[in-house]
Amino acid sequence: MATASLTPFTLRTDPAALDELRARLRATRWVDAPPGSGWELGVDTEWLRQLVEYWADGFDWPAVEARLNELPHFRAALGNGDPLGVHFVHVRAPRIQGAPAPLPLVLSHGWPDSFWRYLKVIPLLTDPGAHGGDPADAFDVVVPDVPGFGYSARPAHPLDSRQVADLWAELMTLLGYERFAAAGGDIGSHVSRYLALDHPSRVVAVHRTDAGLPPAALDPTVLSDEERRWVSEAMAWGAAEGAYAAVHRTKPQTTGVALTDSPAGLAAWIVEKLHAWSDLRPGGSLDGVYTRDEILTNLTIYWLTGTIASSMRMYRANAALPPEQLLRRVEVPSGFSLFAGDIVRPPRAWLERSANTVWVTEPSRGGHFAAFEQPELYASELREFFRPFR
């Protein structure tokens, strides 16, 4: 493994930064809310108030940071010209004498998260034998933070998913992996797709939990009835739920100022999406899917790294991708796990039109953050799909 550009990395927080965070939380100027509005108008203000109070006076970030540091963290300088510092977690599976080397797997996260998305599945994927699985299904797992997210550097100009895929290919070379598997959801689904499109000789197979939203350049006359229904559903979802994405694509700096200044505002922007996109089931609550500490780990990473605006700017970069890039067909064997609680799930006809689809499942539990919501189920999906490609 080449190591010249790799540096071990430790998460370290200045106590003064935590003192400032807590002071800002305690000084939150709260918005009014119509009685009984709950989550109908966005974030439930009363629920958020309780979370903010705990964030200020109960959440133990140093203890969480110490647990995160039990993972092997690194930074690598990637890219031509002016390299970017990319943070990643790299966990190698136990080696079994006489057995083939584990399959390398790069996991790509989306928004609004970071390497946080895969924290629960790393041990399940790297050491399945210790968690009731077959040791032969083990992966060497690489979980990078997309530039502008988490502990990776903020690029001077936002990168699109295709550019990030090129960085991941470079990273896997640096780690000594010539052939590898790729998986992801949300923005990470697009990154994984471009890994398969632009590096097909290296990607053995690609797994995705979604197929994105329908490209605007689609010709509806060539689509099947179920594909046209999917396009209509996506348009309706965009009208009802897509305001955040329109802001990210067009004026991310405006909202970025507010969210970088106010931790309560940052929490509102992110928590509302956890609530809307997770599999809560009718009558369910966010507290039934995530602990407060899990939510606050994600939020505190965003706050301490100051990456909310840079993460949003990636939407603008992706919106500028040429239409022909969005319509390319993936020829690398592709698998899809369409979790029941996810948003705007694509039909099988579109999956087969857009990719060499060899495997589709519809797990009964889990939403947009399935790897965190249902880690055992997500890990099982990846083990089963990638088994023939080892």
Q: How far apart are CA 384 and CA 96, in angstroms?
A: 20
Domain assignment present for residue 303? The answer is: yes
What is the residue range of 52's domain? Answer: 6-389
Output the six-digit token pair for 42. Answer: 């966005």
**Pairing relation of β-strands 180-184 and 103-108?**
parallel
> In degrees rounded to 5, what are phi and psi of residue 162?
-70, -40
Angstrom distances, CA of residue 47 to CA of 115, 175, 272, 299: 26, 44, 11, 15
- Structurally, how many domains does the chain consist of? 1
CA distances from 134 to 60, 137, 237, 276 (A): 36, 6, 40, 35
How confident is the model at residue 2, as a pLDDT? 44
Beta bridge partners of 178: none
pLDDT value at residue 1: 40
The pLDDT score that the predictor gives to residue 284 is 84
Would you tell me the crossing angle of helices 292-305 and 61-68 to the nearest 10 degrees? Answer: 80
Distance, in Å, from the CA atom of 66 to the CA atom of 233, rounded to the nearest integer, reads 44
Question: Which residues on neighbouring strands pair with residue 293, listed in sequence order?
Answer: none
Position 187 in a domain: yes
Q: Is residue 265 a part of any domain in this protein?
A: yes
Reduced to 3 states, what is the DSSP secondary structure of residue 182?
strand
Q: Encode pLDDT of 281-319 as tens digits.
A: 877 899 999 999 999 999 999 999 999 999 999 999 999
Other beta carbons less than 10 A from residue 229's beta carbon: 12
Angle at 369 between CA 234 and CA 86, to 5 degrees: 105
Q: Do the domain assignments include residue 373?
A: yes
76 within 8 A of 171, measured Cβ to Cβ: yes
Helices (H), 156-291: 161-174, 187-198, 225-241, 243-250, 252-261, 263-277
330 falls within a domain: yes
Residue 1 located in a structural domain: no
Segments in the chain below pLDDT 50: 1-3
- CATH number of the domain residue 148 falls in: 3.40.50.1820
62-93: b or e for each residue (b if 16 or more CB lie within 10 Å)?
eebbeebeeeebbbbbbbeeeebbbbbbbbbb
Instruction: Please state the pTM of the whole predicted model.
Output: 0.97
Give the pLDDT score at 98: 87
Q: Give pLDDT, residue 4.
A: 53
